[in-house]
Amino acid sequence: MAKEPQGRRPTRRSWAEPWKVKVVEPIKMLSPAERERAIAEAGYNTFLLRSEDVYIDLLTDSGTSAMSDWQWAGMMMGDEAYAGSRNFYHLEAAIREHYGYRYVVPTHQGRGAENLLSRILIEPGDFVPGNMYFTTTRLHQELAGGTFVDVIVPEAHDPADESPFKGNVDLEALEALIRKVGADRIPYVCIAGTVNMAGGQPMSMANARAVRELTARHGIRVMLDATRAVENAYFIQQREPGYRDKPVAEILREYCSCTDGCTMSGKKDALVNIGGWLAVNERELYEEASNLVVVYEGLHTYGGMAGRDMEAMARGIVESVDDDHIHARVGQVEYLGHKLIDLGVPVVRPIGGHAVYLDARAFYPQIRQDDFPAQTLAASLYADSGVRAMERGIVSAGRDAETGEHHYPALELVRLTIPRRVYTQAHMDLTAESVAAVFDARESARGLKMTYEPKYLRFFQARFEPL
């Protein structure tokens, strides 16, 4: 064997982002006293902070990505015709090529597509199984009269479990539900990869295929929440035997081919600030959707988007499936995650695709879930450094539609969500140092009391006071 090289030369070569910066946007950190005042005025809810008062904004990766020069050039090519804009046809072509579905209905963002799909397919009394809930997805299913049933694998609920595909569907749980309520009470199975609420965890191709087989036997459709399907395809490439040498673009198409259609928030994978779509393979469903979209979004060739926005999304889709892009995107998230692990901070493992999730239960064992440990942690992090994160625990889980009680999710998390192509490694370092400082001060934390609670999606606008 060759001898290891002597001296300070590293044996592992670093990689870097496949882009350079052309435009910058100044940000500034407020003083500690100003941050304390800002978070108190925001009712200890990071959604209610002014973005100007935030230093590093890790609230969400939704609509916060940086567009490329090619996308911005496309914005100048907007065809703002009311009907039949050329940008719609570019978008349709990009979705057909990279996701593989036949028919496309644009919507203003993901929840617009969820609304259409839920209204078309769900009848009151139906059940919609899914691999963990997502806030807007479940709400639209419920508003249409359906009941969401979680059929994710049990390890998804354990932040310390290192399984590579914690987003998988528990096939036995799905089969048991079909047996219990009957296939005709299940309009579709809603799968998502990666699974946002489980910590950005992927589902495997083998599992997607198995879901396809099981549902086909019962004549049940599979609809994909494709919001982060590109990131999911990257994890399949990295972790699933047989995919290492396949391009992410090819894996994405194979993954989508296990489903009958998708809802999509273009604000995530597709690298735009606004936009989404519903895509289906069945002509009849398409006709219903393109009729209904006129009521809620706009004509079926713009669906609530400007022509320029559709062009930016069409180009964003092309960029999103580039292997170098997706490697750098997920690589930055993993960089922050492993830095926190090295500092001894409890995080959800393995590190997810779009965010690092702090385990607020392990952070603050002294705070009961009723006193909102994750909400407390997000507020403390902002006060420490102006880094804005998001609660993903009991506040996000909301109340049971029937009993009115809190849902008590097993995971009580704070999400540090990384926008695409926006922050540098130094921003990640500062974030990790701030989380470590809050962790070191964990014993003095005491929890919060909710003083205002909106009826729908309460996490957006709820207000709190320190206990």
Ligand X SMILES: *Cc1c(COP(=O)(O)O)cnc(C)c1O
Q: What is the set of active-site residues?
A: 82, 134-135, 225, 268, 392, 459
The encoded tokens of residue 275 equal: 């936009």
DSSP state of 353: S
Q: Which helix (H) or strand (E) holds 147?
A: strand 147-150
The encoded tokens of residue 276 equal: 């989404």
The encoded tokens of residue 302 equal: 């713009």
The encoded tokens of residue 453 equal: 């609670």
Q: How far is C-alpha 374 from the chain's CA centre?
A: 18
Among the residues of 302-372, which ranges form H helices?
307-320, 323-342, 360-363
Of 109 and 380, CB closest to ligand X: 109
For residue 354, the minimal CB distance to ligand X (Å) is 8
Helix (H/G/I), strand (E/B), else coil: 94 = helix
For residue 449, the minimal CB distance to ligand X (Å) is 28
Q: How far is C-alpha 406 from the chain's CA centre?
A: 23
Of 261 and 386, CB closest to ligand X: 261
Residue number, nearest CB to ligand X: 110
d(CA 127, CA 419): 34
For residue 135, the minimal CB distance to ligand X (Å) is 8
Question: 3-class secondary structure for 124-136?
Answer: CCCEEEECCCCHH
For residue 50, the minimal CB distance to ligand X (Å) is 20
d(CA 198, CA 410): 10
For residue 422, the minimal CB distance to ligand X (Å) is 17
Residue 155 contacts residue 163 (beta carbons within 8 Å): yes
**CB-based contacts of 33: which residues, under 8 Å, 6+ apart?**
none
Find, among 394, 404, 364, 402, the residue nearest to 381 by Cα: 364
Residue 429 contacts residue 339 (beta carbons within 8 Å): yes
For residue 115, the minimal CB distance to ligand X (Å) is 9
The encoded tokens of residue 355 equal: 């965010």
d(CA 177, CA 127): 9
For residue 201, the minimal CB distance to ligand X (Å) is 12
Of 194 and 380, CB closest to ligand X: 194
For residue 381, the minimal CB distance to ligand X (Å) is 21
At residue 439's C-alpha, the angle toward residues 438 and 444, to 5°, is 75
Q: How many helices (H) and strands (E) does the chain have?
A: 16, 14
d(CA 337, CA 411): 17
Of 87 and 136, CB closest to ligand X: 136
For residue 305, the minimal CB distance to ligand X (Å) is 12
Of 131 and 380, CB closest to ligand X: 131
Of 196 and 376, CB closest to ligand X: 196
Q: How many CB atoms lie within 10 A of CB 46?
A: 23
Note the residues at the interface with ligand X (CB under 6 A): 62, 109-111, 134, 136-137, 192, 196, 225, 227, 265, 267-268, 276
Of 117 and 432, CB closest to ligand X: 117
Residue 277 contacts residue 105 (beta carbons within 8 Å): yes
Of 230 and 448, CB closest to ligand X: 230
d(CA 58, CA 378): 11
Of 111 and 166, CB closest to ligand X: 111
DSSP state of 359: E
The encoded tokens of residue 365 equal: 């064992």
